[in-house]
Amino acid sequence: MAGPALVLLPSLFQEAGYLPVSIVLIITAILSGIDGWMLTEALRRIPGNHDLSLHAEYTSLLEHYLPKTAHKCCLMVYLLSLMSLLMSNIIQSAQVTDLAIRDMFGCSYGLELYGYHHESETTHVMRLICGEIKHNITPFEDNSIVLSSGFILLGLICMMFSNKNLNDNIILQWIANIGLCVLVSIWLYVFSKQKTFDSHRIPFATWRFDHVLGVVLFNFAFIGKFIFVYCYHYNLTNVLIISYYYYFFFFFLN
C-alpha cells in the first residue's frame, strides 16, 4: 500500500470513522493478496515456467496472453500508472529526506533553480541555499523550485540498485519492510503518549463514507492480474469485458 492518496487516510478516518475504513482496508488487503496469488499462478502457466525458473515479469504476461495491439495498449497504461505512482513516492521521499537532513544538520542544502521572495520582492535564479523552515512540509520556501540535497541523495540511492532486477534486491526489500514495521511501532507508541492525542476526534462510524472506497483503492496497485489466469481457459474478449465491468462498477460505486 503505497499510493499517492496515502496521506489522505488520517482525514478519512476522521470523516468516516474507525469501523468503515478498517473494514475496507482489511477487505482490500485480502483482495490484494489474492490478486498477487493469481499473478503467480499466471506466471506458472507460461510454458516452461511451472517452477518459476524463467525471468518472467508482468510485461511477460502481457506479451504472452494478449494480442499484439492489446499488449501495446496495456503496456502503455501500465507504464503510465507506474510513472504516476513513482513520481508521488519520489516527491514524498525527497521531502522526508530533506526534513531529516535539516533536523540532523540544522538545514538542508539545495540549488535554487528559481525563487521569488515576497518580502523583498526579488527573484533569484541558480543560487545555493540552505533551507531551515520548520513550519512547512519542506525546509524550503513554497514559491521556490529547488534541486535539494535530499532529492540528490535519493537519486543516488536509486541509481545504486537500478541496474539490478527486482528479485536481485530482495534483501533490500526485506530490510525496508522490517524497518517500516519498526518505525510504525515506534510511531504508534510515541503518538499514543502525546498529550494532544484525543481519541474522541475520530468517531467509531459515520455515514460519510462516500470517499472511503476510492481513497483506499487508489493506494493499491490493482492491475487485473486475474485476467491472465482466466485467459488460459476462457475467451480473452469475454474476460476483458467482465473485468472492465467490475472496474467501472467500483468506480461508480465510489
**Pick from 66, 64, 72: nearest CA to 47:** 64
What pLDDT score does 121 carry? 67
- Helices then strands, counting H and E runs in the chain, come out as 9, 4
3-state secondary structure of 163: coil
Q: Are residues 46 and 113 in the same domain?
A: no
- Residue 110, Cβ density class (10 Å: 0-12 exposed, 13-18 middle, ≥19 buried): buried
Residue 6, in any domain of the structure: no
* Residue in this structure with the C-alpha cell 541558480, named with its chain if needed: 126
Cell numbers found for residue 102: 535539516
Q: Are residues 84 and 153 in the same domain?
A: yes
Residue 31, in any domain of the structure: yes
Q: How many angstroms separate the CA atoms of 82 and 88, rounded?
A: 10
Residue 45, in any domain of the structure: yes
Q: Are residues 132 and 104 in the same domain?
A: yes
Q: Are strands 122-124 and 144-148 parallel, antiparallel or unpaired?
A: unpaired
Residue 107 belongs to what domain range?
Answer: 67-164
| Grouped pLDDT means (10 residues each) for the chain, 254 residues | 66 83 84 78 82 79 81 82 79 88 89 76 80 84 86 87 74 84 88 73 78 71 50 51 54 50
What pLDDT score does 185 carry? 92
Among 125, 141, 164, give the residue marking a domain's end: 164
Residue 241, in any domain of the structure: yes
In the DSSP assignment, the letter for residue 8 is: G
Q: Are residues 45 and 119 in the same domain?
A: no
Residue 202, in any domain of the structure: no
CB distance 88 to 2 below 8 Å: no
Q: Are residues 119 and 35 in the same domain?
A: no
Q: Are residues 49 and 79 in the same domain?
A: no
What pLDDT score does 243 carry? 56
Among 140, 164, 188, give the residue marking a domain's end: 164
Q: Are residues 87 and 138 in the same domain?
A: yes
What pLDDT score does 182 carry? 93
Residue 1, in any domain of the structure: no
- Residue 21, Cβ density class (10 Å: 0-12 exposed, 13-18 middle, ≥19 buried): buried
Q: Into how many domains does the chain fold? A: 2
Q: How many angstroms separate the CA atoms of 84 and 105, rounded?
A: 32
CB distance 5 to 212 below 8 Å: no
What pLDDT score does 178 carry? 92
Q: How many angstroms separate the CA atoms of 249 and 254, rounded?
A: 9
Q: Are residues 46 and 105 in the same domain?
A: no
Name the residue type at position 201. R
Q: How many angstroms separate the CA atoms of 227 and 38, rounded?
A: 9
Question: Which residues in 207-236 are b (16+ Cβ under 10 Å) and which e?
Answer: eebebbbebbbbbbbeebbbbbbbbeeeee
Q: Where are the alpha helices (DSSP H) in 53-164?
A: 58-65, 68-105, 149-162
Among 125, 144, 164, give the residue marking a domain's end: 164
